A and B are shown apart, each in its own frame.
Chain A
Amino acid sequence: MKGLRTHWTLRRWLSAHLDGELTGDLLQRVREHLASCQVCQRDLEDIRKGRSLLLHPEFFRTLAPSTSKLSPLRSFPAIRWSSIAVLALVIIAASVWRSLPSVHAMNIDFYAAQVQMTDRCSYPCTSLVETTLAELRQSSPFAIRYPRWLPPGMVLRRVVRYQTPRGEGVGLIFAGHGKELCIFQQPRRLDVRTAGQRTSTTRICGQKCTRIDSDRVQLLKWTTGDFCFVVATTVPRDQVEAVVSSFGSPPD
């Protein structure tokens, strides 16, 4: 009975053991248990395979249906072949690691959707809540910056906060004369990625901005200091640029 309890207590630590996160007494207990428990040994092997799937993206070759298999080079001496394979894996892994988009990046469609007031909260956004400016001033995770200029007739209609595992962002949504102007501010580490749209770089009052092609709304993104700003709007282009320009200096 005691052995069974030990089994259930220790098997949860198998991933931590595999990742080298265990130390001291717990590490020793897991090691000892693994040495005598075939169930945990099999579990550990499965966990190792699953981890390899993500840590070594070459495995995805096996998942891609139309990818051809490499033909074995039997004439190569084994030692040379394994060295080349290891080197190739390292190079591929490094390039894959650099080129894979962050799975935590906010999709640009999230910002566009707020213009339509759809309250769409798509991955990696885990929550989207409406709040007030007063509440935001009291409990915002960072100093909110505001535009110093707004198109005539625009008033603040909504304030939203959105949360992801990487951090929290805030959105100020202005409206007037049938137009919408949404301004989002979030930590720079919370990336933004496009969903296949074309992008171009532009300068507005010296501020380097990225313009994202979109049929429905204008989308602009720029980074200042530790923060990233995204504007999604239906107001005319010259007015958007005036709004972005008004962010040029830090708020009072």
Chain B
Amino acid sequence: MTALESFADCGPTPESALLGSEREAALMEVLRSLPARLRAPVILRDIEGLSYEDIAKSLGCGIGTVSSKLNRGRKILAQKLLRSTK
């Protein structure tokens, strides 16, 4: 499928309908709640699936910094999950 075709089909798909807008909204809400400096590495790693090396290049920092930011970003996500399920 070309990017153009995927763009043309970017309305609701059966899969996204199945998912429901609530879950997608929750995803965006959780990601938005992260500080910007932590959001980028979390998105690049856990959603985009980039390697640490690629993330480091993309953000102009070291691999250790990527890992450190992922630590903090993921811990915040875990805390939010915990709070929301209590």
| Chain A contact residues, CB within 8 Å of chain B | 11-16, 19, 21, 43, 46-51, 53-55, 57, 59-67, 95-96, 98-104, 165, 188, 191-194, 198-199, 201, 208-210, 221-223, 228
Contact = CB atoms under 8 A, between A and B. Distances in A.
Contacts of B31: 103
Contact of A21 (B24, B42, B59, B67): B67
A98 B66 CA distance: 26
Contacts of B63: 16, 21
Interface in B1-52: 2-4, 6-8, 10-11, 13, 15-16, 18-20, 22-27, 29-31, 40, 42-48, 51-52
Contacts of B22: 64-67
A228 B8 CA distance: 13
Contacts, number: 148
Given A103-B31, A221-B7, A95 B46 contact: no
Across the A-B interface, the 4 shortest Cβ-Cβ residue pairs = A50-B74, A99-B15, A50-B77, A15-B70
Given A19-B70, A43-B71, A67-B20, 5 more contacts: A12-B67, A15-B67, A99-B16, A192-B7, A199-B10
User: What band does the interface of chain B fall in when counting residues whose beta carbon is under 8 Å from A?
Assistant: 35 or more
A13 B63 CA distance: 9
Contact of B77 (A54, A62, A64, A222): A54
21 contacts: A15-B68, A16-B52, A19-B45, A19-B70, A21-B51, A47-B70, A50-B76, A50-B77, A51-B46, A51-B77, A54-B77, A61-B23, A62-B85, A64-B25, A95-B15, A99-B19, A100-B24, A103-B31, A103-B47, A103-B48, A191-B6
Nearest to B43: A103
Contact of B30 (A63, A99, A221): A63
Contacts of B15: 95-96, 98-99
**Residue among A11, A47, A193, A208 with the most chain B CB within 10 A?**
A47
B14 to A, nearest CB: 8
Contacts of B82: 49
A46 B67 contact: no
B61 interface: no
B74 A47 contact: yes
A63 to B, nearest CB: 4
B18 A95 contact: yes
B78 A46 contact: yes
Contacts of A95: 15, 18-19
A163 B7 CA distance: 20
Contacts of B16: 99-100
A211 to B, nearest CB: 10
B22 to A, nearest CB: 4
